[in-house]
Amino acid sequence: MDHSALVLIEIGALLLGIGLLGRLAGKLGISPIPLILLGGLAFGEGGLLPFQTGEEFIEIGAEIGVILLMLMLGLEYTAKELVENLRGSRMAGFVDMLLNATPGAVIALLLGWGPIAAVAMAGITWISSSGVIAKMLQDLGRLSNRETPVVLSILVIEDLAMAFYLPILTALLIGLDLGAGIITVVIALAAVLLILYIALKHGHLVSRLVSSRDAEVLLLSVLGLTLIVAGLAAQASVSAAVGAFLMGIAISGPVARNAAQLLTPLRDLFASVFFLFFGLSTDPADLVPMLIPAIILAIVTMGTKVLTGYIAARRAGIAEAGRWRAGFALMPRGEFSIVIAGLAISAGVNPSLAALATAYVLITIVFGPILARIPDAPGFARWAKKRQQTRRGRERAVA
């Protein structure tokens, strides 16, 4: 068969498969991400029917998918909101990092992968999935709940922290010596702060630059400028994803809302390609020895995320049931964990890290939304209410 025809057929089959998996996920009431990852495993290296052509298209599409994911996340916030959330939830962010990054680093060291892999695994277990959690809160009807701003604040802090974490990880992965590494990190952080400054002080100029009443012009302007910023960020040793995220922050007001509406179908398409690409690049045979570590890691870090959300909600004065809802909502990991694992693997870190990350993300994404329903169960709600009444009684007795 002609090569061009074979490429079109295989890519078309993969996209159709993604669509069917998305439909199945909708019927099951779960995120399509785990099914897409499983589909990638089935058609990747060592799978049932290995994908043979069109790798370059899938790889480029995957990179665009990451950029669009982070751009859309940035469009949800303004620079002012980011700064306010950072100031108000600094302690929650520190607790989040301490509780959830540590288990990932520890397991990498226990497996003998070395300190660089430990830094990568720390990020993989630290960052919750903003996309999965946002959709989950919407599906559960919790967007207007009192604890939801607490959950969103933690997610924003995590996303902003990635702007500082990823340059450091990148410097470590490419093996720079101490002096060159420090220079690279300083340049990267300077680039991040410059983009953030532009977003905070001159975001209206960026919005005016891309603004248009014509939907096609607006789409092309936002997407084109985002790809340029992402490329320049990557050249400055900052992740392209971080550049796209900060670009989204710089665009605000009606322009941001209109751009988000236009970009949503593109984001869904290329984000699916990204998760598919990660599955395609992972050999299913590598997952088997990593299942036990992934299960242990998932149990530990889902528990630490519950504790993180509970503590943050308690500091915000949320009632007992809301504290548990906040904690359970933070459990799923997703896009950032996969991005970090992809960076590590492309830099030559132990290939088993990809298998561990894939299995780990699958477990948290599948079971996270299921477990998030526990605080809404009548029995749990009665227990939480009784627990709160008992605590209030003790406080009155002490007073």
Asked, for residue 44, whether it belongs to a domain, the answer is no
Domain count, the chain: 1
CA 29/CA 81 separation, integer angstroms:
31
Count of other CB atoms within 10 angstroms of residue 6: 13
Of 272, 256, 249, nearest in space to 200 by CA: 249
Residue with tokens 């902003």: 160
Sequence-ordered list of residues with C-beta below 8 angstroms from that of 44, at least 6 positions apart, any chain: 50, 51, 279, 280, 281, 282, 283, 284
CA 100/CA 170 separation, integer angstroms:
20
CB 356 within 8 A of CB 292: no
Asked, for residue 43, whether it belongs to a domain, the answer is no
CA 95/CA 118 separation, integer angstroms:
19
pLDDT of 268 reads 81
Sequence-ordered list of residues with C-beta below 8 angstroms from that of 50, at least 6 positions apart, any chain: 43, 44
Residues spanned by the domain of 304: 64-388
In DSSP notation, 321-334 reads HHHHHHHHHT----
In which region does residue 53 sit, left (phi positive, over 0), alpha (psi from -120 to 50) or beta (all else)?
Answer: beta
Residue with tokens 């009155």: 396
Asked, for residue 22, whether it belongs to a domain, the answer is no
Model confidence, pTM: 0.74
pLDDT of 60 reads 83
Expressed in percent and rounded to 5, the helix, strand and coil fractions of the chain are: 80, 0, 20
Asked, for residue 52, whether it belongs to a domain, the answer is no
Q: In Å, how far are 139, 155, 328 from 376, measured between CA atoms? A: 13, 22, 11
CA 288/CA 294 separation, integer angstroms:
10
CB 73 within 8 A of CB 251: no
* Residue type present at position 89: S
pLDDT of 157 reads 81
Q: What is the CATH number for 238?
A: 1.20.1530.20
Of 301, 254, 270, nearest in space to 14 by CA: 270
381: its two tokens: 């709600």
CA count, 13 A, side-chain hemisphere, 36: 29
Asked, for residue 188, whether it belongs to a domain, the answer is yes
CB 353 within 8 A of CB 120: yes
CB 225 within 8 A of CB 210: yes
Per-block average pLDDT, block size 10, for the chain (399 residues)? 76 84 80 78 68 72 82 75 67 88 94 91 91 77 82 80 76 69 70 74 80 88 89 74 79 84 86 78 79 94 94 87 91 83 80 87 85 86 79 68
Of 126, 117, 115, nearest in space to 297 by CA: 126
Asked, for residue 33, whether it belongs to a domain, the answer is no
Count of other CB atoms within 10 angstroms of residue 201: 10
CB 234 within 8 A of CB 243: yes
CA 372/CA 127 separation, integer angstroms:
17
Asked, for residue 84, whether it belongs to a domain, the answer is yes
CB 66 within 8 A of CB 277: no
pLDDT of 169 reads 82
Asked, for residue 92, whether it belongs to a domain, the answer is yes
CB 128 within 8 A of CB 331: yes
CA 208/CA 214 separation, integer angstroms:
14
375: its two tokens: 């605080």
CA 176/CA 219 separation, integer angstroms:
38
pLDDT of 70 reads 77
Of 137, 56, 66, nearest in space to 340 by CA: 66
pLDDT of 397 reads 67
pLDDT of 205 reads 81
In which region does residue 298 sit, left (phi positive, over 0), alpha (psi from -120 to 50) or beta (all else)?
Answer: alpha
Taking CA 131 as the corner, what is the angle to CA 70 and CA 260, rounded to the nearest 5 degrees?
Answer: 55
